[in-house]
């Protein structure tokens, strides 16, 4: 391989990169995703070059026209990278030069690939994180709608995967929507911190040309300029934070996947997945597998891996830009694309699942899950909790010995366990009664859960509105 025709740095070299070096160095096969953002930031750069009279207006007009043509050609696929292009920046500069000859190179004034790539990458991620936020809202809605259907249904609640206390099944489902709501708010925080422009930093130290980085930043919809030019070219916190947000979304979704897999198992038999969100087996005709749930659980591994990989690349980097930073993009592209693939399928799976109310209700009191009610009954009669807990434990022991459930204990069983334990306690040994009594603001009574879901719905409305504003703002800027 000889030196590439679109090489941006040949002047002081007497030989071209050896083929293996060029192959190693090349990133255009993945960073081409940045092309629309690179073109948009080039348009903003040309504007400042012209207004500051760094390039004449007629040159600026030609470059602007050629960049706009390239925007169309990249979109339609009629312009793309070739074998000799190193990265997205060199490929697009080749495109400019093919249209304009040498004056296409005028755009390089005051800019380095170091501030350029950092800018493109931020713009790309802002665009994608807004899409992710929209998909998360759809997931939240799918969860809250399903939860609302099951607010009045009682089911066993678990700790340690053992029956613990009965809960409203709507409460159980809605917990996932709260986690997703936090993910959405993390994207809002991320955006506030990441929406700054690295342009004007040049290679690392800024520029002696009279650029106006504040103007360029504003033109690109950023809320300001990264304050320190050295930081601007090396900082990838925005990428690491985005990968953390995605990894945590992945962890949340993996829990949904795990619960759906368990609930649809023969042993639980609570959930019935829609055929459209299940798959069959090539050998066992009876099988209906919860593959969407399992892939959801599995994807979290790669999301965490991508975060770990990027943090490790960033660790110990000295001074400003180092070529190690070219390794920042693939993990981000991989996480973003996989999450955007995953979210609609998980939302669809959730929206189309039905649960066996009778089976959950029948299971709710099993495993002595109402033993806490006995302790609470005694506490209300003035017995100290430690004693009440002992007595309730003794009830479980007697039941285990006799092979019966708590409500089947006789009056004499009860009074011999504790003098204040009367047959009245049986009134409380009902799963629906137990959940209805838990009326604290965050508790499992259907009335409380309804209020919790109403609050969530409000939050979803507010979040949908800022996400739509950001979407419009960003798309408006990109189409200028």
Member of 38, 50, 85, 87 binding ligand ARG (CB under 6 A): 87
Nearer to ligand ARG, 30 or 244 (CB): 30
Tell me which stretch binds ligand ARG (CB under 6 A): 130-138, 251-259, 320-328, 392-400. Answer: 320-328
β-pair partners for 279: 289
C-beta of 27: minimal distance to ligand ARG in Å? Answer: 5
Member of 92, 246, 325, 467 binding ligand ARG (CB under 6 A): 325
C-beta of 86: minimal distance to ligand ARG in Å? Answer: 7
C-beta of 9: minimal distance to ligand ARG in Å? Answer: 8
C-beta of 117: minimal distance to ligand ARG in Å? Answer: 4
Tell me which stretch binds ligand ARG (CB under 6 A): 102-110, 112-120, 281-289, 331-339. Answer: 112-120
Any catalytic annotation for residue 160?
Answer: yes
- Please provide the DSSP assignment of 105-130 as one string: GGGGTT--HHHHHHHHHHHHHHHHHH
Member of 254, 326, 369, 448 binding ligand ARG (CB under 6 A): 326
Member of 4, 7, 27, 42 binding ligand ARG (CB under 6 A): 27
Residues with Cβ < 8 Å from 314, sequence gap 6 or more?
A: 236, 240, 328
Q: Which residues of 88-123 are buried (b: 16+ CB within 10 A; e: fewer)?
A: bbbbbbbbbbebbeebbebbbebbbbbbbbbbbbbb
List 281, 415, 416, 465, catalytic entry:
281
Write out the E strands in 263-393: 271-272, 354-355
Tell me which stretch binds ligand ARG (CB under 6 A): 65-73, 222-230, 236-244, 321-329. Answer: 321-329
Nearest Cα neighbor of 323 from 91, 24, 2, 23 is 24
Compute how many other C-beta atoms are within 10 angstroms of the C-beta atom of residue 365. 22
C-beta of 87: minimal distance to ligand ARG in Å? Answer: 4
The single residue listed with the structure tokens 């033109």 is 219
The single residue listed with the structure tokens 């100290």 is 384
C-beta of 335: minimal distance to ligand ARG in Å? Answer: 17
- Does 264 engage in binding with ligand ARG (CB under 6 A)? no
- Please provide the DSSP assignment of 200-223 as one string: T-TTTT--SS---HHHHHHHTT-S
Integer Rg of the chain from CA: 30
C-beta of 34: minimal distance to ligand ARG in Å? Answer: 9
C-beta of 170: minimal distance to ligand ARG in Å? Answer: 48
List 29, 160, 208, 440, catalytic entry:
160
C-beta of 317: minimal distance to ligand ARG in Å? Answer: 12
6 near 90, Cβ under 8 Å? Answer: yes
Element (H, E) at 84: none
Task: Determine the Cα–Cα distance for residues 104 and 400; give it in Å rounded to an integer.
Answer: 85
Tell me which stretch binds ligand ARG (CB under 6 A): 62-70, 95-103, 323-331, 385-393. Answer: 323-331
Nearer to ligand ARG, 31 or 50 (CB): 31
Nearer to ligand ARG, 117 or 378 (CB): 117
| Long-range contacts at 403-407 (CB < 8 A, ≥ 24 apart) | 405/365, 405/366, 405/368, 406/365, 406/368, 406/370, 406/371, 406/374, 407/365, 407/370
Nearer to ligand ARG, 113 or 186 (CB): 113
Task: Determine the Cα–Cα distance for residues 250 and 339; give it in Å rounded to an integer.
Answer: 8
Furthest-apart CA pair in the chain: how many Å?
101
Task: Determine the Cα–Cα distance for residues 434 and 221; give it in Å rounded to an integer.
Answer: 54
Task: Determine the Cα–Cα distance for residues 228 and 363; give it in Å rounded to an integer.
Answer: 61
Nearer to ligand ARG, 312 or 416 (CB): 312
Interface with ligand ARG: number of residues (CB under 6 A): 10
β-pair partners for 475: none
Tell me which stretch binds ligand ARG (CB under 6 A): 110-118, 237-245, 296-304, 414-422. Answer: 110-118
The single residue listed with the structure tokens 């200028």 is 480
Nearer to ligand ARG, 113 or 176 (CB): 113
Tell me which stretch binds ligand ARG (CB under 6 A): 65-73, 111-119, 127-135, 213-221. Answer: 111-119
Conformational region of residue 367, where left means phi above 0, alpha means psi within -120 to 50, and beta covers everything else:
left
Q: Pattern 28-47, binding to ligand ARG, x per CB under 6 A? A: ---x----------------
CA angle 120, 201, 113 (to 5 degrees): 45
Q: Which two tokens stand for residue 234?
A: 């090396």
Nearer to ligand ARG, 157 or 198 (CB): 198
Task: Determine the Cα–Cα distance for residues 194 and 228; give it in Å rounded to an integer.
Answer: 14
Between residue 113 and residue 132, which ones bind ligand ARG under the rule CB under 6 A? 113-114, 117
Q: Could you list the active site residues?
A: 160, 281
Residues lying near ligand ARG in the complex (CB under 6 A) are found at 27, 31, 87, 113-114, 117, 321, 323, 325-326
């Amino acid at each position: 391989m000889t030196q590439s025709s679109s090489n941006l740095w040949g002047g002081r070299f007497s030989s071209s990169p050896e083929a293996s070096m060029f192959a190693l160095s090349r990133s255009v096969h993945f960073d081409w995703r940045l092309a629309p953002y690179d073109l948009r930031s080039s348009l903003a750069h040309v504007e400042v070059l012209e207004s500051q009279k760094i390039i004449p207006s007629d040159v600026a007009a030609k470059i602007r026209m050629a960049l706009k043509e390239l925007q169309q050609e990249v979109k339609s696929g009629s312009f793309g990278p070739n074998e000799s292009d190193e990265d997205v920046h060199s490929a697009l500069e080749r495109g400019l030069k093919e249209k304009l000859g040498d004056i296409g190179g005028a755009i390089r004034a005051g800019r380095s690939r170091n501030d350029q790539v950092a800018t493109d990458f931020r713009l790309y991620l802002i665009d994608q994180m807004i899409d992710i936020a929209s998909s998360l809202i759809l997931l939240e809605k799918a969860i809250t709608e399903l939860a609302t259907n099951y607010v009045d249904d009682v089911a066993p609640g678990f700790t340690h995967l053992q029956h613990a206390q009965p809960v409203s099944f709507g409460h159980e489902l809605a917990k996932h929507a709260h986690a997703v709501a936090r993910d959405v708010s993390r994207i809002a925080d991320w955006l506030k911190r990441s929406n700054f422009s690295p342009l004007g930093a040049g290679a690392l130290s800024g520029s002696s040309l009279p650029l106006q980085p504040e103007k360029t930043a504003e033109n690109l919809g950023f809320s300001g300029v990264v304050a320190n030019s050295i930081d601007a070219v090396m900082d990838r916190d925005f990428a690491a934070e985005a990968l953390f947000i995605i990894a945590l979304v992945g962890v949340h979704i993996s829990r949904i996947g795990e619960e759906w897999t368990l609930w649809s198992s023969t042993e639980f038999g609570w959930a019935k997945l829609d055929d459209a969100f299940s798959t069959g087996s090539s050998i066992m005709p009876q099988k209906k597998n919860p593959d969407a749930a399992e892939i959801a659980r599995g994807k979290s591994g790669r999301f965490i891996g991508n975060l770990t990989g990027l943090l490790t690349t960033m660790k110990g980097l000295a001074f400003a830009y180092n070529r190690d930073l070219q390794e920042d993009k693939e993990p981000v592209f991989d996480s973003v694309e996989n999450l955007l693939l995953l979210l609609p399928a998980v939302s669809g799976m959730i929206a189309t699942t039905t649960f066996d109310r009778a089976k959950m209700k029948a299971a709710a009191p099993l495993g002595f899950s109402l033993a806490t009610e006995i302790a609470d009954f005694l506490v209300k009669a003035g017995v100290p909790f430690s004693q009440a807990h002992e007595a309730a434990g003794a009830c479980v022991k007697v039941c285990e010995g006799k092979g019966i459930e708590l409500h089947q204990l006789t009056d004499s069983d009860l009074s011999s366990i504790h003098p204040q334990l009367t047959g009245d306690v049986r009134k409380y040994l009902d799963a629906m009664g137990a959940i209805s009594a838990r009326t604290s603001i965050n508790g499992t009574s259907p009335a409380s859960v309804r209020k919790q879901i109403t609050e969530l719905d409000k939050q979803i409305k507010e979040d949908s509105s800022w996400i739509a504003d950001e979407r419009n703002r960003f798309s408006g800027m990109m189409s200028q």
